[in-house]
Amino acid sequence: MTRGLKIFASLFAFVGAAQAEFATPDEGLRFFEEKIRPVLAEKCYSCHSADADKLKGALQVDHLEHLIAGGETGPSVVAGKPEESLLVEAMSYSNRDLQMPPKEKLAPAIVDDFRLWIKAGAPWPEEPVPLAGGKSAPEAFDLEKRREQHWCWKPITDPVIPGVRMKDWPRSPIDHFILHRLEEAGLRPAGPADDRTWLRRVYFDLTGLPPSLAEIDRFLDDTSTERREKVVDELLASPHYGEKWARHWMDLVRYAETYGHEFDYPIHFAHEYRDYLIRAFNEDLPFDQFAREHIAGDLIAKPRINEAENFNESVLGTGFWFLNEATHAPTDVLANEADHMSNQIDVYSKAFLGLTVSCARCHDHKFDAISTADYYALTGYLHSSARTERSMDPGGKRAAAAARQREILTKADASLPARSPVPPFEKNPVAGLFANFENGDLPPGWSIVGEAFAPTGTGAGFTLEEGALYTTPGTVSSIRLGEAHSGALRSPTFTIEGDEIHVRLRARGGMMRVVIDNYHMAVHQPLLFRGTVHKEPDTKGAFTWMRFDGDLTKYRGHRAYLEFVDPGPGYYEIDEIRFSKEAGTVDQDKTSGNPSTTISKEVEDLLAEGRRLAASLPPERFSLTMAEGTPERGNIYVRGSHRSLGGEVPLRFLEALGAKEGNRLTLAGETVSPNNPLTSRVIVNRLWHHLIGHGIVASVDDFGPMGQLPTHPELLDWLAGDLVKNGWSLKHTIRQIVLSQTYAQASVPHPDIDLTILSTADPTNALLHRMPVRRLPAEAIRDGILAVSGSLDATLYGPSIPTHRTDFMSGRGARESGPLDGGGRRTIYGSIYRNFLSPFLMTFDMPNPFGPKGNRGASNVPAQALALMNDPFVIDQGKRWADRILADTGLEESTRIARMYEAVTSRVPDAETTAALATFLKNQATVYGASDSRAWADLAHVLLNQKDFIYLR
């Protein structure tokens, strides 16, 4: 109460001074009782008093002390200052995000009463202060306590490998952990799966494809004791391994090639990231490096170089940040940015850490040791980074040519007389100078990607472009090396303060734009962003003032940067940039100051060599990546609202994991630090999930308190420790798992198992008393059909095959339909258009690409039966298969039947089955009235519809 009394003392003093509003203090109190308190009680108390069932916004209005202390958005009343009082702001409905009462706007007269009351010092009678926090005061957020209470934050242990009774069963430590728990429960493992079952399992699990008949025979004929190891090593070395496992990762990073929403605009070059993944898995890129490249591949000092094509691999990993959905024309661009960042953080934190950090966007995490400050520390990294389309330059040919060209130009420049400095403008625009490039260096905060852009310096310089012989001093130019090089120039981030931005430049082609709050979609659709993008400008070789204007007016106070993109053809030469309300004037053409010396033969030859190099450059190949932006600190948005700014937070890692500050490289380092127990556990758990059918932690993307507890915590730690000890090699861990006895179990329980115990001790098979029956993922079903029918085109990599579009896939942004069979390519090479996802794949649970999804689930619905029964793709593949098998004319009918059956199921049909299949052929032929390929196509169709095809036993 002491504090309360103090406030009263000052309050009455204030009231005493506020004679203007009320003649006496009593009059003020009477006014309060008549006009103010009833409104508060009727309109506000249900959510904002000690009696509220659920106190909203941590604000109570049942006492002046609470009003002054305020809630989440800060003090509600500033006595004497109605214009600074949030209470008045909320009541007057002037702030869209703060409108109270929420269901009705109070009459203006009532709001005026409140203004008057506050102006008078907000008189409130002396009375007890109702308890703070109301009935349901939530437990205070105690990060340290939560961290101590939940298992996932604890360090990884080095568990003792437990003893077992069935000593001859285990083959690896994994088996000890599994068997130990089974024995404790009074259970026993299943018998071994037969060779064919095991082989089919391991083929699909490692490559997503069935074994061919030859591969089955080779395995069965191998009598060596290491034959399983041999097969596993072969499969791990197969390029199809990467195609299978990259797809699992794509589920986590919501991989797609269009932005969705109304017009489904393209995400250019997304497939380069997909190919990066396939290579990374195939090369067994250590997972810690994989994570580093994803988070900060652009900042790695010595990036990994692609061996075959010699380009920077590491930087491609950063593409995952930008595969989000995106809309055009958001009326609130900052809210739009906040949503994107929430998605980016969701992907990062779930994929690598198994944490739901985005839950802390509006409030400290309800359950986990993650604070709102943690969340906004991560948004700081995104604010400090930029999206950029970067030249990959395979073979480094462009870089090498550029280096040689610069040498040539330096030599040629030496022949030029020193040029007098360009005189200043006679009529300088009054506007504020943002940048000029007079002193020859790039000003602080400006950055360059690619070979094309460089400051021209103060002296004279040749270019390699015919018709534009000299660069202009005091500019940043992309013409010096000729037009063939690409690049981008980016300004530091600034706050928009004027209505126009003027750029004095000469330019042709490419694009220049103001990127406001990291909104990149204006290039597709300018609505609400008119005047912020110039596509393909052309100043006809002369310097001129161009301006950004139009809708820019709307974005005063927003953060933005300028970007000049030269994609190859075309050039930019930027002289200066001014922020103003007035148009600048072109009062002088700087190029007039160029020397008019005659050029010697020697220099001519040099320049000719440089031009030849320019002409010989290979075509550009771009990728979507992250680059450094202007360093910015994260800023807390109170209750998730970008209109209510809280405090700043430094760029740092999660507090529960040490809160280390630093740039994105630090974030990457902390993500894979030995002190972080999550990343290694999360990834081994994912591998387990994909191979065993359910994770040791079943909620694979959420290790927090709302997720599941691990069924075998010691095994999880052993696997995590083993991974790190073995250089974060995912192939190592996968090999360990698939060569275990656990994985080699049959999918039916051991005949001697006690069923009474089983039904209570392990009804869900969490203890793994058998291998679960698993349905193939969508991709494996489609790829399996192509493989069996002989239509699979095993080509690796490259641009995606357009999605085949059915009559039911209409809507805005629809593209040309692709081939029914996807060109025979594996499913991973098919396009993923957010608004036109393949119905066949979706039916079999390919996830929609909007957020991380580590566990697809396997639905079981009639639409799947309809797809396999009637989808033209399946029917067509059956026909192709029949034609192919009939082309081999030397085969007996029974051999054909057996081979087809085996191709689909990896099993040999028994006599009864073969007879049934033969009878079917006869029956179909009878209906057709002819014995031809149609009956065989029907047989192929039947075989593809078998459960033994789409389920792995």
Partner 1 sequence: MHCHQFHPRQLSRRDMLRRCAMGFGGVAMQALLHEEAQAGTVRTNNPLAPRVPHFSAKARNVIFLYMDGGPSQVDTFDYKPLLEKYHGRDPREVIGELAPTQFDNVGKVLKSQWAFKQRGESGAWVSDLFPYLADPEVIDELAFIKSMTSKFSEHTSANYFLHTGSGLQGRPSMGAWFGYGLGTMNQNLPGFVVLNGGLIPPGGLDCFGSGFLPAAYQGSIFLPRDQPIANIRPQESNPELQVNKLKLIDQLDRSILDASGYDSEIEGAIQNYETAFRMQSSVPELMDLRGEPESVKKLYGLEADYKNTQTFGLQCLLARRLVERGVRFIELTCPNGNGDRWDQHGKLFDGHTKNCQTVDQPIAALIKDLKRTGLLESTLVVWAGEFGRTPFAQGDDGRDHNPFGFTVWMAGGGVKGGVSVGETDEWGYKAVQDRFEMFDLHATMLHLLGVEHTKSTYRFSGRDMRLTDVHGHVIKKVLG
Q: Where in 529-588 is the site for partner 1 (CB under 8 A)?
A: 551, 554
Residues 407-426 that bind partner 1 (CB under 8 A): none
Residues 844-903 that bind partner 1 (CB under 8 A): 845, 848-851, 853, 855, 857-867, 869-872, 875
Q: Which is nearer to partner 1, 257 or 483 (CB)?
A: 257
Residues 708-737 that bind partner 1 (CB under 8 A): 708
Of 122-130, 213-221, 234-242, 835-843, the segment contacting partner 1 by CB under 8 A is 835-843
Q: Which is nearer to partner 1, 608 or 927 (CB)?
A: 927
Q: Which is nearer to partner 1, 135 or 947 (CB)?
A: 947
Q: Which is nearer to partner 1, 114 or 453 (CB)?
A: 114
CB of 693 to partner 1, least distance (A): 8
d(CA 119, CA 122): 7
d(CA 71, CA 98): 13
CB of 483 to partner 1, least distance (A): 37
Binding residue for partner 1, selected from 234, 609, 661, 948, defined by CB under 8 A: 948
CB of 688 to partner 1, least distance (A): 13
Instruction: Give the number of other CB atoms < 10 A from CB of residue 111.
Output: 20
CB of 84 to partner 1, least distance (A): 20
User: Pick from 555, 621, 172, 205: which is nearest to 390 by CA?
Assistant: 621
Binding residue for partner 1, selected from 523, 748, 796, 891, defined by CB under 8 A: 748
Of 572-580, 620-628, 784-792, 832-840, the segment contacting partner 1 by CB under 8 A is 832-840
Residues 294-353 that bind partner 1 (CB under 8 A): 325, 327, 329-332, 339, 343, 346, 350
Q: Phi and psi at residue 106, in whole multiples of 5°?
A: -70, 155
- Tell me the DSSP string of 601-634: HHHHHHHHHHHHHHHTPPPP-EEEEEEE-----E
> Please, what's the b/e burial string for 114-126 (b: 16 or more CB within 10 A of its CB; e: otherwise)?
bbbbbbbbbbbee
User: Pick from 249, 227, 617, 690: which is nearest to 452 by CA?
Assistant: 617
Residues 649-668 that bind partner 1 (CB under 8 A): none
Binding residue for partner 1, selected from 28, 584, 707, 784, defined by CB under 8 A: 707
Q: Torsion over CA of 275, 277, 280 and 281, rounded to 10 degrees?
A: -110
CB of 122 to partner 1, least distance (A): 26
Of 9-17, 387-395, 406-414, 705-713, the segment contacting partner 1 by CB under 8 A is 705-713
* Helices 678-692, 287-296: inter-axial angle, 10-degree rounding: 110
Q: Which is nearer to partner 1, 362 or 442 (CB)?
A: 362
Residues 749-808 that bind partner 1 (CB under 8 A): 749, 755-756, 758-759, 762-766, 772-773, 775, 806-808
CB of 473 to partner 1, least distance (A): 42
Q: Phi and psi at residue 471, in whole multiples of 5°?
A: -80, 160
CB of 35 to partner 1, least distance (A): 21
| Token output for 748 | 């039916």
Residues 34-93 that bind partner 1 (CB under 8 A): none
| Token output for 205 | 């699990």
CB of 57 to partner 1, least distance (A): 13
Strand partners, 577: 435, 503
CB of 720 to partner 1, least distance (A): 21
d(CA 620, CA 394): 9
d(CA 554, CA 528): 9
Q: Which is nearer to partner 1, 426 or 912 (CB)?
A: 912
Contact 505, 474 (CB under 8 A): no
Q: Which is nearer to partner 1, 104 or 126 (CB)?
A: 104
3-state secondary structure 791-825: CCECCCCCCCECCCCCCCCCCCCCCCCCCCCHHHE
Of 151-159, 537-545, 603-611, 692-700, the segment contacting partner 1 by CB under 8 A is 692-700
CB of 395 to partner 1, least distance (A): 39
Q: Which is nearer to partner 1, 659 or 809 (CB)?
A: 809
Q: Torsion over CA of 717, 720, 722 and 724, rounded to 10 degrees?
A: -140
**Omega of the bond leading into 101 within 30 degrees of 0 (cis):** yes
Residues 508-527 that bind partner 1 (CB under 8 A): 527
Binding residue for partner 1, selected from 659, 842, 886, 891, defined by CB under 8 A: 842
CB of 712 to partner 1, least distance (A): 15
Integer angstrom CA distances of residue 921 from 525, 611, 892: 57, 69, 14
Q: Which is nearer to partner 1, 863 or 887 (CB)?
A: 863
Q: Which is nearer to partner 1, 304 or 770 (CB)?
A: 770
Binding residue for partner 1, selected from 1, 103, 424, 752, defined by CB under 8 A: 103
CB of 118 to partner 1, least distance (A): 22
Residue with tokens 């974005």: 555
Residues 357-396 that bind partner 1 (CB under 8 A): 359, 367-368
Residues 234-293 that bind partner 1 (CB under 8 A): 260-262, 264
Of 33-41, 98-106, 384-392, 629-637, the segment contacting partner 1 by CB under 8 A is 98-106
User: Pick from 232, 313, 278: which is nearest to 826 by CA?
Assistant: 278
**Which amino acid does the sequence have at 632?**
E
CB of 788 to partner 1, least distance (A): 15
CB of 681 to partner 1, least distance (A): 16
Instruction: Give the number of other CB atoms < 10 A from CB of residue 255.
Output: 23
528 is an interface residue for partner 1 by CB under 8 A: yes
Q: Torsion over CA of 38, 43, 48 and 54, rounded to 10 degrees?
A: 130
Residues 905-944 that bind partner 1 (CB under 8 A): 913, 916-917, 920, 923-924, 927-928, 938, 941-942
User: Pick from 549, 474, 543, 461: which is nearest to 508 by CA?
Assistant: 543
Query: Count residues contacting partner 1 (CB under 8 A)?
Result: 107
3-state secondary structure 692-724: HCCCCCCCCCCCCCCCCCCCCHHHHHHHHHHHH
Strand ranges inside 542-665, DSSP E: 544-548, 559-566, 571-580, 622-628, 634-637, 645-649
